[in-house]
Amino acid sequence: MTVVHHDPAARLWMLTTPHSSYVVRLDDHGRLRHLHWGARLTPEQAAALPYVLDVATNFDGELAEEYPGEGGARFGVPALRVVHPDGSRSTEWRPDGHRIEDGLLVLSFRERLGPLELDLCYRVRPDSDAVDRWTELRHTGADGQPVRVGQLAAARWTLPLRADYRLGHVTGGWSAENRLTREPLARAETVLTSRRGITGHQANPWVVLDAGDAGEEHGEVWTSALAWSGSWRITVERTVHGLAAATHAAGHEGPEVVLRPGESWRTPVSTGLYSAHGFGGASRAWHAHVRAHVLPRPDELRPVLYNSWEATGFDVGLAGQLDLARRAAALGVELFVMDDGWFGARKDDTAGLGDWTPAPDRFPDGLAPLAAEVRRLGMRFGLWVEPEMVNPDSDLYRAHPDWVLHESGRPRTELRNQLVLDFGRPEVAAWAHAWLDGLVREHGVDHLKWDMNRVLTEAGRPGDPDADRLWHGHVRAVHALMDRLRADHPGLRIEACSGGGGRTDLAMLARTDQVWTSDNTDALDRIAIQHGYGQIYPPGTMGAWVTDSPNPLTGRRLPLEFRFHVAMTGALGIGGDLTHWSEDELARAAELVARYKRIRPVVQRGRLYRLRDAVQYVHGDEVVLVAWRLAEPHGAPVVPLRLAGLDPQARYVDQDTGEVHHGAVLTARGLSTGLTRDHSSRLLHLRRQD
Ligand code: DGJ
């Protein structure tokens, strides 16, 4: 299969994935027009494609351009906004060649009047339905005059024209991330955005569009996600002519990048993925793509971890951590992570951030005794860090008050009593690398939980005329530091965290091993949060802890088994105060941890099917089903669960009871779960019979 095809006569390029095609062509005026994103086509069929839209009246027009700028009769969302030195904004892009190599397509353009070059870049792979896109803008002028760049989109994703569209995305907040919503697409511009300098809890940079007729397992869906960990904006437009398109850009409105002669600006990657198999099919394709092409270490079976945060809060010390570590090891935990509070004067959130040496009163001999005992117990050792932050009440801030993002003469707004270090300054990035590298080296730290508990405010750098760049520069510096640490310490794992799930995105997943999904560990709330997470991101990256009952955040009481089962649908962790768990609870927890280890290859690597009040994973011959019952009215029928993705001709053996099920019966009639009580749950592990 040729993944990139060029038809010189038609001035057309087609990208081919296993189940989709993507086609653009130059029109007679040299404008790049979007032709197709959807079912697979042959080159001959692609050459016969009419334009998606070709509307030109005396009053209006719409051409479905692949990457519209400003100027001319263009009234939609511009992918590119620049201000030339003379104050004008129009651009007229002339084709300037193309390059094809190994699944990469670069289409180059030159601005007719200004010294600007533009590359539209695409990448496809033979084993993934994802199309990666990004853009590079170059200033080639020699006259010293900069241009101002207000927006440089990674991509504009145009859908085929349909009578209706529906937009799916997630909304939320701290402890309520990833609430999935699907609503008719407004005949307007719908802006999903983060202006906070992080990916954000309130929205997440992806959208799923369909024609209003897709379901979980049927229908066409067009999805796209931006791989960026800072501010971002996805504008979904439904134009007056009925067309839908989603423009993906890093950054929010306001900050401009000044591009000087000789400089270039490259966007992050935006990935689009088309599926003809509904929302579930799209999710499975995303999971496969992220595992194959995004995660740095996809083959690792994610370890069962213990994290001390909910048990101790800031009240950490050697004796307490040793006690928890011993109890965790007895449950079968494989990685022990000490959370916030181990350094400097950090007894609460008012002081100590930035002073990354073990607290002498709590760890008089440093971290070595704890790390050694954790290893002796057979576990790996992990630590919480928050490298981008500083408390004003810290030695670091007293020594370097100018190292934080701030604007001259303006207040330094504190959130959670902390300020943001300016990682775009080389000396700050070098300082952060030095202590992190030293910490990992000295203690052989296996896992860093990299937190980021506040957003950017007064994001300035006095005296620097390019200060607006720091919105991008901060993110790039964080990515670079993570990349460098991973390169220097190949065994190091990193967990992305930002007050729970505030920094969940494909760029983070490219340099971390799992994400802390939410500070909300209530298993009932988690069902919704995890449902949203799994729309795009694979379950094996989704950190899920079993914590105490009543839950410290919600006060809700839930059975231990229910809490475990919900957490076992992702990367299982335990975060409860084990010193308060009864002997019976500890014994049952140990059984459930052992059970998770048996099913985790299926959960972490399998294909996910979302059923009603259940999730199912299929991996090779194995099937795992986790089903639960929420609060149901008395007498509500217990409807059999119809499993998906099975071979109807095969038999499947229950790995716990030996009972044999026919695939056809499980699919057609369904499985009786026997869940008659609220908050009961069941885990089923089947293996296809030879
Ligand atoms: C926010 C994280 O989401 C929590 O898990 C915990 O690490 C705290 N920060 C520590 O301050």
Give the number of other Cβ atoms within 10 Å of residue 365's Cβ: 10
Question: Residue type for 512, please?
Answer: T
Q: For residue 459, what are the CA distances in angstroms to 353, 405, 407, 408?
A: 19, 5, 7, 11
Q: For residue 102, what are the CA distances in angstroms to 15, 54, 168, 388, 581?
A: 12, 33, 33, 37, 56
45 close to 13: Cβ distance less than 8 angstroms: no
| Cβ-Cβ contacts under 8 Å for 91 (sequence gap 6 or more) | 69, 70, 71, 80, 82, 111, 114, 116
Q: Which residues are catalytic?
A: 451, 519
- Alpha-carbon distance of 199 to 217, in angstroms, equals 29
What's the CA-to-centroid distance between 439 and ligand 1, angstroms? 19
Instruction: Report pLDDT digits (tens) over 125-176.
Output: 999 999 999 999 999 998 879 999 999 999 999 999 999 999 999 999 999 9
**Rg (the chain; Cα; Å):** 26
127 close to 27: Cβ distance less than 8 angstroms: no
For residue 550, whether the previous peptide bond is cis, meaning omega lies within 30 degrees of 0, is yes
Give the number of other Cβ atoms within 10 Å of residue 581's Cβ: 19
What's the CA-to-centroid distance between 654 and ligand 1, angstroms? 39
Selection from 423, 80, 408, 106 nearest residue 259 by Cα: 80
pLDDT band of 2, cuts 50, 70, 90 = confident
| 3-class SS shares of the chain: helix, strand, coil, % to 5 | 20, 30, 45
Instruction: Report pLDDT digits (tens) over 553-581.
Output: 999 999 999 999 999 999 999 999 999 99
Of 201, 338, 347, 453, the one to substitute when testing ligand 1's pocket (max ligand atoms within 8 A of C-beta) is: 453
pLDDT at 244: 98
- Alpha-carbon distance of 258 to 150, in angstroms, equals 9
- Alpha-carbon distance of 329 to 124, in angstroms, equals 44
Nearest CA residue ID for atom 6, ligand 1: 309
Q: Which two tokens stand for residue 443?
A: 């203690």
pLDDT at 59: 82
What does the mean pLDDT of the chain come to?
97
Burial pattern 300-313, b for ≥16 Cβ within 10 A else e, equals eebbbbbbbbbbbe
229 three-state secondary structure: coil
Residues of the chain with pLDDT > 90, as a percent, come to 96
- Alpha-carbon distance of 197 to 195, in angstroms, equals 6
626 phi/psi in degrees, rounded to 5: -120, 115
Pairing state of beta strands 514-516 and 542-546?
parallel
Question: Residue type for 439, please?
Answer: L
Provide residues with CB under 6 Å of ligand 1.
Answer: 309, 339-340, 384, 451, 453, 497, 499-500, 516, 519
251 close to 473: Cβ distance less than 8 angstroms: no
Of 340, 415, 417, the one to substitute when testing ligand 1's pocket (max ligand atoms within 8 A of C-beta) is: 340
540 three-state secondary structure: helix
Instruction: Report pLDDT digits (tens) over 379-397.
Output: 999 999 999 999 999 999 9
114 close to 141: Cβ distance less than 8 angstroms: yes
Average pLDDT over residues 607-626: 98
Nearest CA residue ID for atom 9, ligand 1: 499
pLDDT band of 58, cuts 50, 70, 90 = confident
Length of the chain in terms of residues written: 690
Please report where in the chains the tokens 């409105």 appear, as a residue.
253
- Alpha-carbon distance of 419 to 422, in angstroms, equals 10
pLDDT at 204: 98
